[in-house]
Each structure stands twice: as C-alpha cells, then as structure tokens.
Amino acid sequence: MRRDEIVEGDALHPGDPVVIDRYSTAARFNHWMTAASLVLLALSGLALFHPALYFLTGLFGGGSNTRAIHPWIGLFLFLGYMGLFFRFWKVNLWTPTDGTWLKKLHVFLIGHEEDMPEVGRYNFAQKAVFWWMGILIMISIASGLVIWEQYFAAYTTVDQKRWAVLIHSVAAIVMICIVIVHVYGALWARGTMTAMIKGRVTGGWAWRHHRKWLRELAADPKANRGTATPAE
C-alpha cells in the first residue's frame, strides 16, 4: 500500500471503507516519545515545585533522584520536539484560511464544525499548539539551563536564577495547560487518536475535520507529501 494514496477496502470502522495514511511509524514514535517526556517532565517538575506535591518524587526514586533526572528528561523533550518540528513545520505555516477559521472560533466551540471554512491538514488551533509548544520548550530549556545547579551553578548570579525559576515555572504551567487542550481536542474529535496510534484515518474523519486536505489528496495523492519528509 502506498502510504500517500486513498485506499479502498481497508476499513478502520465498518461502513467507512476509505482509509488514509496520516502519520508514518517514525512520526508516531517521535510523537509518543515527546508526549511521554512531557508527562514525566510535568510529574517530576511538579514534585519539585511545591511541598504538597513532593510525594510525586516517589515515582522517580526520591527527591535527589528527581532533581537529577528532571533536566535530562527536559533535554529528551527538546530533542523529541525538534524531531516533530522538522517533520511538521511546513504544514503548520499560517494560511489566510486560518484567519477566517479563527474569526469563526465560537462556531467551532459550540460544535458546528460543518459551518467552519474547509481546513487543510491542520486547523488554526492545531497550528497554534505546534508553535506555542515550540516557543515554550525553548523558553523552558533556556531558563532550565540557568538553574541547572549541577553543571551551570558557577555561571549565573542569584538574581538571574530567581528570574529563571519564575520564567521556568510560568512556561511549564502554560505548557501543561496547552497539552491538556491538545489531548482534549484529540479525544473530542472521534477518530483522531487512531491517527496517532495506527497512523490512519477514515475518509469520513478527513471529510468532517480536514476537508481541504482530503480534496488535495483526491486531486493529487502526492499532496500528502506537503511536508519536509514524505507522508508525515
């Protein structure tokens, strides 16, 4: 099966015979590695954030282990996101349709997606998650290095560390909120998890949520190659 063609007869759901490849195995591995890093990073970060959450250090073998592991998980998240970035940056570029879509956001939020402008591979909200996660990960890495006592204690002043802790915490909290929205969106639109688990979606899913992308694929199956790397 060519990964970028619309395939007949390989049903994900009975009655919906058209199946479209959306993510390669490598892209899904990259995504879930990034997602796992973020969850572990949030748990270990929250454990160090407030005494009431200190019990979470139990998951990482105690306080000092949590403190030692947390920055390394951060580097893992950074690498994972860089992989996603190079795979997906092109398809997340802004198009004029995104502006029209944003203006009608309230229509989307009350569940009338059928009245929204036709969407390409990603909608405005998905693109916003993509770019904001990138910005916040950069901010977290930069501020995290300033407060990484084990290696960089000597290079920064106490004042710089205080600012860095504040910036690091705010960025982390915003990031956690964005990921909650991302996961909610993935669960809310039925069939979206299948995209990231099996790599495929139904024609019906594409018609409902990414009709412009479906039309592009129907007109030219190679349109799925609109990314830096094929079919991702």
Contact, 26 vs 38, CB < 8 A? no
The residue (of 49 and 132) whose beta carbon lies closer to ligand HEM is: 132
Minimum CB distance to ligand HEM, residue 62 (Å): 25
Nearest to 71 by CA among 93, 44, 99, 32: 44
Nearest to 45 by CA among 158, 138, 136, 168: 168
Would you tell me how many other CB atoms lie within 10 Å of the CB of residue 102? 14
Residue of 20, 21, 22, 73 interacting with ligand HEM (CB under 6 A): 22
Nearest to 165 by CA among 149, 146, 138: 146
Contact, 164 vs 143, CB < 8 A? yes
182 is catalytic: yes
Residues 190 to 219: which contact ligand HEM by CB under 6 A?
192-193, 195-196
Residue of 3, 70, 168, 182 interacting with ligand HEM (CB under 6 A): 182
Left (φ > 0), alpha (ψ -120 to 50) or beta: where does 100 sit?
Answer: alpha
When asked if residue 177 is in the footprint of ligand HEM (CB under 6 A), the reply is no
Contact, 200 vs 6, CB < 8 A? no
Judge residue 127's burial from the number of C-beta atoms within 10 Å of its C-beta, 0-12 exposed, 13-18 middle, 19 or more buried: buried
The residue (of 20 and 164) whose beta carbon lies closer to ligand HEM is: 20
Residue of 30, 44, 66, 92 interacting with ligand HEM (CB under 6 A): 92
Stretch that binds ligand HEM, among 33-41, 64-72, 107-115, 152-160 (CB under 6 A): 33-41
Minimum CB distance to ligand HEM, residue 161 (Å): 26
Active-site residue list: 182
Contacting positions for ligand HEM (CB under 6 A): 22, 31, 34-35, 38-39, 81, 84, 88, 92, 122, 126-127, 130, 133, 179, 182-183, 186, 192-193, 195-196
